[in-house]
A and B are shown apart, each in its own frame.
Chain A
Amino acid sequence: MAKLKCAWFDFTCCEGCQVELTNYGEPFLTLMEFIEPVEFREIMTEKTTEKIDIAFIEGSFSRESDRKRLEEIRSRANIVIAYGSCAVTGGINALKNHQNMNDYKEIVYGKDKDMPHLDSQLAKPISAAIKVDFEIPGCPIDKDEFLRIVSQVIHGSTPTLPKYPVCVECKLRETVCRYDEGDYCLGVIAKAGCNSPCPAHGIPCEACRGFCDEPNQEALVELLKERGPYGKRWAEEKSRMFTANLRKDAK
């Protein structure tokens, strides 16, 4: 089997998901038997304008000026995989979307806020600009899930993601519910597939992978008001952290 030509591209993000890919240790060399990296700016100087088999895109679409570059990647990629929450849902970048843009530009840059290079718009997923074939959610991605999905693509099967919430995985791991510890948790509406590391580490699930299928957003707010520790205003705002673009009030 010929090696698949793979290229990595990053937009508005922290580049932490690509860092995760450096953490495999020696098994990384096994992956290299199946793929040939042809472009990866953070670790390669080599670049290509040729056709590519798989384009991995990290980061949000947050500047209209990035649309052309995304379309160019799409035009020469056989398969586009958005990986990491920023690329899949807009991720944490979308946490600012509900605020007035002029306000936050002024907060950050003061009197210089209108300089043209500071242009920014709503943070959106990559799929808001181009067609995306597969998605690998998570902030950061789970590197084992990345391997599974890439392996399925390499071998011609269709990767799927769980439709059920993170709560299911906590039950399977026998993790004590955060609510029983006096904490809150968004696991009730969060897309599973990560094997719920956060509650197992003693912190709430923040739904970094987005919502599960048919999330009951109203019930979440009621649950947070009733059993969450920080009050009504917080309960209503809570799920913006990673799912601002999936909420019913998304811009």
Chain B
Amino acid sequence: MGRRKIKDVHSQSKEGCQMKNINIDVHHLTRVEGHGNIVVNIKEGTIERCEWQIPEAPRFFEAMIKGRHYSEIQRIVSRICGICAVGHTLASLKATENALGVTISEQSTILRRILKHAENFDSHILHIYFLVAPDLLGVKSVFPLVETHKDVVKIALRLKRLGHEWGSILAGRTTHPTKCIPGGWSMIPTEKELKQLKQKIIDSVSDVEETLKVLISVAPNIPDFTRKTEYIGLIDDYEYGLYDGMIGSLTPDGNINKYNVSDYRSITNEWVSPLSTAKYTKHFMDSYMVGALARININYDRLHSKAKETAEAIGFKTLCFNPYMNSIAQFIECVHSAYITIGYIDQLLNIGVNTEEKPTKPTKFGRGFGSTEVPRGILFHEYEYDEEGFCKGGNCVIPTNQNHANIQKDFEKIVPELIKADKNEDQIELTLSMLVRAYDPCISCSAHYLDVVFKK
């Protein structure tokens, strides 16, 4: 594993600029979820190969859900991804409920919205502190920071635990949640539990503020790179697009188009690349980006005022075309999720929590669509059920799949720029690794997608 062969041979061309031979072969990139490779071959200054490859073992979830009862589906597909388990559960439930003619209660919806914010916070903290921060602090992992930046590591561990507890109070646990079921919830949290959660979030404000200081201090180490691309994310009339809404497309000219979730295939246009066990997607342009940066570019106006203050403090402005800023966008979302959740808890406490609420029953069996934003971007699930409630087929399009082509296009723009700036092999490798990490890819997700065959 690891870097198998590294050569860095410089030779001078007739024009005097350096004509490099560079071979980068990062096998199983570290500090990302799942398995991806970076391969760059440059011969005498000419790029021969520049590839982002996905070798993750395929898992064939569609074969697993076929013939299973609707009550089991969200529990099976949750296992597509250990980090986005909540998001897969919620997208799956929305698709199943759509297929079953089920509308859940207002209370159940608010609880799911809080859960979605919990996952976003939890996953973003993991990404920012454990996967991205080591690059910005010039170390190889979080472990050396235990000695050099112990207070920062403690903040990271406390905030990660907060994200986990936030989700667990609602869903039983965050990795493969238990209490989320078709029609609503198997158990509703008590008012006492919700008050405790609110207090935990309030108590974490100082840790969040410290995180902002850390990010401001390392922000100059974020590479300055831009490439205009299309952004796709949910647009919700109710709040910042995360749990629900219509599909939004933002093009570099600032135009926004909206589409129904049931039309998601006209957005994703999947195709199989020989580089990848995961499929690629494209819409208006050759590629598009999903995730926190896409969401913020599309929905900035709907952010909580505290999140906007955070954006201003870091100097983040929309439209932002620098993919490395995705990690900053994630932190801004963390602030949003914390404050919005406090608002939702107050709303529930004002209405009064009904812990006796039972899940809504199916009214029909057919085909349904569901979409939610997971930390890495927009996620689509689709299922069809027979008249007894057994699954006939399904499809799932994962955010990381939608980003693969965009990462490849970024590679194709940034590598010539790095050569022109006379960066050496190690610098190019680090810059490309950081680029992939900025997208927070969830590769085991992306190679575990389901695909559809609806047998009539």
Q: Are A44 and B186 in contact (CB under 8 A)?
A: no
Nearest B residue to A18, CB-CB: B82
Q: Are B175 and A19 in contact (CB under 8 A)?
A: yes
| Least Cβ–Cβ distance between A193 and chain B, in angstroms | 16
Q: Are A14 and B62 in contact (CB under 8 A)?
A: no
Q: Are A13 and B444 in contact (CB under 8 A)?
A: yes
Residue B67 is within 8 A (CB to CB) of chain A in the complex? yes
Q: How far is the CA of A117 from the CA of B35 in the complex (A)?
A: 13
Question: A235-251: which have CB < 8 Å to B?
Answer: 237, 241
Q: Are B277 and A140 in contact (CB under 8 A)?
A: no
Q: Are B60 and A105 in contact (CB under 8 A)?
A: yes
| Least Cβ–Cβ distance between A112 and chain B, in angstroms | 4
Residue A157 is within 8 A (CB to CB) of chain B in the complex? no
Chain A proximity mask over B312-355: 1 for CB below 8 Å, otherwise 0: 00000000000000000000000000000000000000000000
Residue B283 is within 8 A (CB to CB) of chain A in the complex? no
A108-B62, A234-B69 known; A201 and B75 CB under 8 Å? no
Question: B274-303: which have CB < 8 Å to A?
Answer: 274, 277
- Per a CB cutoff under 8 Å, which of A16, A26, A63, A95 touches B82? A16
Q: How large is the interface on B (under 10, 10 to 19, 20 to 34, 35 or more residues)?
A: 35 or more
Q: How far is the CA of A161 from the CA of B390 in the complex (A)?
A: 35
A109-B451, A118-B277 known; A11 and B57 CB under 8 Å? yes
Complex interface: stretch among B156-164, B208-216, B398-406, B418-426: B156-164
Residue A171 is within 8 A (CB to CB) of chain B in the complex? no
Chain A proximity mask over B247-276: 1 for CB below 8 Å, otherwise 0: 000000000000000000000000010100
A43 contact set on B, CB distance < 8 A? 30-31, 130-131, 141-142
| Least Cβ–Cβ distance between A142 and chain B, in angstroms | 10
Q: How far is the CA of A246 from the CA of B179 in the complex (A)?
A: 27
Q: Are A16 and B176 in contact (CB under 8 A)?
A: yes
Q: How far is the CA of A29 from the CA of B126 in the complex (A)?
A: 16
| Least Cβ–Cβ distance between B129 and chain A, in angstroms | 9
Q: How far is the CA of A221 from the CA of B226 in the complex (A)?
A: 59
Nearest B residue to A27, CB-CB: B157
Q: How far is the CA of A92 from the CA of B1 in the complex (A)?
A: 27
Residue B364 is within 8 A (CB to CB) of chain A in the complex? no
Q: How far is the CA of A140 from the CA of B34 in the complex (A)?
A: 17
Q: Are A115 and B274 in contact (CB under 8 A)?
A: yes
Residue B223 is within 8 A (CB to CB) of chain A in the complex? no
Question: B1-23: which have CB < 8 Å to A?
Answer: 1-2
Chain B proximity mask over A85-129: 1 for CB below 8 Å, otherwise 0: 000000111011001000111111110100101101001000000
- Per a CB cutoff under 8 Å, which of A16, A99, A201, A203 touches B63? A99
A13 contact set on B, CB distance < 8 A? 82, 444
Q: How far is the CA of A109 from the CA of B450 in the complex (A)?
A: 9
Nearest B residue to A104, CB-CB: B63
Residue A47 is within 8 A (CB to CB) of chain B in the complex? yes
Q: How far is the CA of A47 from the CA of B172 in the complex (A)?
A: 35
Q: How far is the CA of A237 from the CA of B393 in the complex (A)?
A: 17
B60 contact set on A, CB distance < 8 A? 96, 104-105, 107-108, 120
Q: How many residues of A contact B (CB 8 A)?
A: 64
Q: Are A197 and B157 in contact (CB under 8 A)?
A: no
A28 contact set on B, CB distance < 8 A? 157
Q: Are B79 and A139 in contact (CB under 8 A)?
A: yes
Residue B228 is within 8 A (CB to CB) of chain A in the complex? no
Q: Are B33 and A46 in contact (CB under 8 A)?
A: no
- Per a CB cutoff under 8 Å, which of B134, B140, B154, B164 touches A23? B164
A25-B158, A26-B158, A32-B146 known; A19 and B58 CB under 8 Å? no
Residue A179 is within 8 A (CB to CB) of chain B in the complex? no
A19-B175, A104-B63, A234-B69 known; A14 and B81 CB under 8 Å? yes
A15-B444, A118-B58, A197-B172 known; A108 and B450 CB under 8 Å? yes
Residue A215 is within 8 A (CB to CB) of chain B in the complex? no
Q: Are A17 and B82 in contact (CB under 8 A)?
A: yes
| Least Cβ–Cβ distance between A221 and chain B, in angstroms | 16
Residue B72 is within 8 A (CB to CB) of chain A in the complex? yes
| Least Cβ–Cβ distance between B224 and chain A, in angstroms | 23
Residue B415 is within 8 A (CB to CB) of chain A in the complex? no
Q: Are A16 and B451 in contact (CB under 8 A)?
A: no
Residue A22 is within 8 A (CB to CB) of chain B in the complex? yes
B140 contact set on A, CB distance < 8 A? 44-46
Residue A206 is within 8 A (CB to CB) of chain B in the complex? yes
Q: Are B143 and A47 in contact (CB under 8 A)?
A: no
A16 contact set on B, CB distance < 8 A? 79, 81-83, 85, 175-176
Q: Are A107 and B274 in contact (CB under 8 A)?
A: no
Residue A162 is within 8 A (CB to CB) of chain B in the complex? no
Further pairs besides A37-B141, A120-B58: 18, Cβ < 8 Å = A13-B82, A14-B80, A16-B83, A16-B85, A17-B82, A17-B175, A23-B160, A25-B157, A25-B160, A32-B143, A110-B451, A118-B277, A202-B186, A203-B75, A230-B69, A230-B388, A230-B389, A234-B69
* Residues of A that sit less than 8 Å from B by CB: 11-20, 22-26, 28-29, 32, 37, 40-47, 62-63, 66, 69, 91-93, 95-96, 99, 103-110, 112, 115, 117-118, 120, 123, 139-140, 197-198, 201-203, 206, 230-231, 234, 237, 241
Q: Which 4 A-B pairs have the closest CB atoms?
A: A16-B82, A202-B186, A25-B161, A104-B63
Task: Give 5 pairs: A residue, B residue, CB < 8 Å, sorted on A.
Answer: A23-B160, A26-B154, A32-B146, A43-B130, A202-B178
